Amino acid sequence: MIEIMAVLVILGVMLLAIAPSIDGLVPKYRLRGGAREVAALVEEAQGQAVSNRKEYVLVYDLDDQSFWLVLPPRDPDEGREGGAGAGPLGGLFGGGDPKDEPARPRDDAEHGLPPADPDAPAPQVESVAERDAITPRKLPTDVVFAAVIVGEDERRSGRVEVPFNHTGADGSHVVGVKLDRGGDLQIWVKFDALTRTIEYLDEPPTVRTLSGEGS
């Protein structure tokens, strides 16, 4: 019995000594998890833009500490009678039965695009705020954004929009995450759209990041 009590006392002392170290590791794991979440959505934004050949926008709200992906703008002709949604030919030959029309891409290189209707109203381009978006994500507990850098523009507050186009050349930027309380520990996620690579840095990059213009 005495031996069992002695072992329990020793284990208790060891746990007391290890506990502070464990507590110190937990915030680091949350910080790394936050950096990985940002990197995952960045990769998804570029991947969706390239595969679907449409523009996606990654939005960071540095005041609300959230980030989300904005979906491509809706086709202004979608669902309109005689428009792109009327059939495979987009109503090129009128509003006939789509089943009777041969499939033809809208940007047919052989026949070219149909002439524009001079009486048709100009298409309304949706702003980023008007477009559909996925549910905003939050960083892990006690993890916040340090800054978002696009080209030479560094933002620490407000909303930052990073567009990704179908060529894969846009979207280069750097995102810093840090612990909200205590310590100087930070992780900077640097995305290079041209090489499609992500780097995790302990400090913000000292060299100019790519502007996202494909240059």
Domains of the chain: 2-71+134-201 (3.55.40.10)
| Nearest Cα to Cα of residue 64 among 136, 142, 2, 150 | 136
**For 183-214, how does the pLDDT look when each residue is reduced to its tens digit (9 = 90+)?**
788 999 999 999 999 999 999 987 555 544 44
Alpha-carbon gap, residue 148 to 12, rounded angstroms: 45
Q: Is the pTM of this model over 0.95?
A: no
Least confident residue range of 7-16, 46-55, 63-72, 182-191: 7-16
Per-residue pLDDT, averaged over 135-151, amounts to 95
**For 22-42, how does the pLDDT look when each residue is reduced to its tens digit (9 = 90+)?**
444 588 999 999 999 999 999
In the prediction, which pLDDT does 55 show? 95
Least confident residue range of 53-57, 85-89, 117-121: 85-89
Looking at the predicted structure, is the pLDDT value of residue 17 above 50? no
Q: How many of the other CB atoms lie within 10 Å of CB of 37?
A: 18
